[in-house]
C-alpha cells in the first residue's frame, strides 16, 4: 500500500515538473488571432480608468481591446518596443510590442496615428496593454 502512495506522489511530481517546464518555455503569443471586445480612443480608455479605476478594471483587465491614438513616444528595450499613445497631458496608453512581431520597415515616430490591439493589464500611471499588435 505504501508503494502505491509513493508511486502516485512521484508521478504527480513528474507531471508538475513537466507542466512547469512547458509554461516557462511556451512560445510567446500575441493577440493577433483574438477578436477585440471593443474599439476605443486612447483618451476614452484613459479617462475611464482615471475617473473610476475599480469599475474600469472589472470592465477591461484581461480583455483584448483596440485603442486608437497619436504616438507620444517610442522606447526600445531588450526584445520589446513600448509605444505610448497620448491620451491627456499627464498620461496615456502604454503598449508593449515584441520586436519580432513587427516587420523590419515598421518604424514609429511622435505624431503618428496608430490603432493598436492588445490585452489590458490595468492602470499604473498609464493604462497598460501587453502582447500588442499594430493594426493599420
Query: Can you tell me which residue has the cell 484581461?
Result: 62
Q: Is the pTM of this model over 0.85?
A: no
What pLDDT is attached to residue 136?
A: 64
**All structural domains of the chain:** 38-135 (2.40.50.140)
Residue 134: per-residue pLDDT: 85
Rounded CA gap, 18 and 52, in Å?
42
For residue 107, is pLDDT > 70? yes
Q: Write the pLDDT tens digit of every residue in 69-105.
A: 999 888 888 888 888 998 887 889 999 888 887 877 7
Q: Give the model's pLDDT for residue 128.
A: 93
* Coil, strand or helix at 34: coil
Q: Which run of H or of E encompasses 38?
A: strand 38-41
Amino acid at each position: 500500500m505504501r508503494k502505491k502512495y509513493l508511486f502516485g506522489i512521484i508521478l504527480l511530481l513528474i507531471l508538475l515538473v513537466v507542466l512547469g517546464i512547458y509554461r516557462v518555455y511556451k512560445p510567446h503569443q500575441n493577440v493577433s488571432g483574438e477578436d477585440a471586445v471593443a474599439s476605443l480612443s486612447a483618451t476614452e480608455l484613459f479617462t475611464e480608468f482615471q475617473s473610476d479605476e475599480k469599475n474600469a478594471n472589472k470592465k477591461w483587465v484581461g480583455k483584448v481591446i483596440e485603442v486608437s491614438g497619436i504616438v507620444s513616444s517610442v522606447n526600445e528595450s531588450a526584445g520589446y518596443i513600448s509605444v505610448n499613445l497620448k491620451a491627456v497631458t499627464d498620461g496615456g496608453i502604454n503598449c508593449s510590442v515584441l520586436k519580432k512581431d513587427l516587420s523590419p520597415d515598421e518604424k514609429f515616430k511622435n505624431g503618428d496615428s496608430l490603432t493598436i490591439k492588445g490585452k489590458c493589464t490595468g492602470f499604473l500611471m498609464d493604462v497598460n496593454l501587453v502582447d500588442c499588435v499594430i493594426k493599420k
